[in-house]
Copies of this chain bind each other. A is one copy, B any other.
């Protein structure tokens, strides 16, 4: 706590007076009472960004999927499991937000139906029908009076192509891209920032260091003045 206070004291208050809503972690899409579809996101990147935003003076709401991390000091955490729950929590937190940062690895699909009781094993093959989940970031970015939206893209190949495609189709002013092998679940990451000015690769570093750089960059792109931005 003392360390946090000292760090916060020496960090420029680039986000003073701003409200930031962040999603982090995986989502868990239930198949039955015990099984589900998830991904290997650890939540570390989103939690590091939440910490960096608090240090920069922001009011932070962290909507988190199931992870094993403690809530960062000074952050209001809302814990959720599925993508539908995450969407509800995000829209509940959004009024008055200046910035939305979608770091969570939200499951793209969920089982059409979750079984009420544990599915018993049989020798036969089975199949699970999946339906697309809502795209929380696209909904936030496309809404009226949208906050400044930052997206994340973890890809296994062709990062530039997918990242710029995602940034343009969702009309995001800033997108953070990384290769899955470089970051997912680990302590370090190698990321590239994509914005209207182009591509800005950051040197490989620990996630808290990367998070500080991302927050600095995002703060530099924010229009002056507190309060909600115009869409």
Using a CB–CB distance below 8 Å, which chain A residues touch chain B? 28, 31-41, 66, 68, 105, 107-109, 112, 116-119, 121-132, 135, 154-157, 180-181, 184
Contact = CB atoms under 8 A, between A and B. Distances in A.
A231 B37 CA distance: 38
Contact of A117 (B107, B108, B118, B157): B157
18 contacts: A31-B37, A33-B156, A33-B180, A34-B39, A34-B184, A35-B37, A40-B66, A108-B119, A118-B154, A118-B155, A121-B132, A122-B132, A124-B132, A125-B129, A126-B129, A126-B130, A127-B128, A128-B130
Tell me how many chains of this kind the complex includes. Answer: 2
A108 B121 CA distance: 6
Contacts of A31: 37
Nearest to A28: B40
A212 to B, nearest CB: 25
Nearest to A35: B39
A142 to B, nearest CB: 15
Provide the main secondary structure of the chain A interface. Answer: loop
A118 B156 contact: yes
A34 B117 CA distance: 27
Contacts of A32: 156
A107 B121 CA distance: 10
B38 A36 contact: yes
Contacts of A117: 156-157
Given A28-B40, A33-B180, A38-B38, A131 B121 contact: no
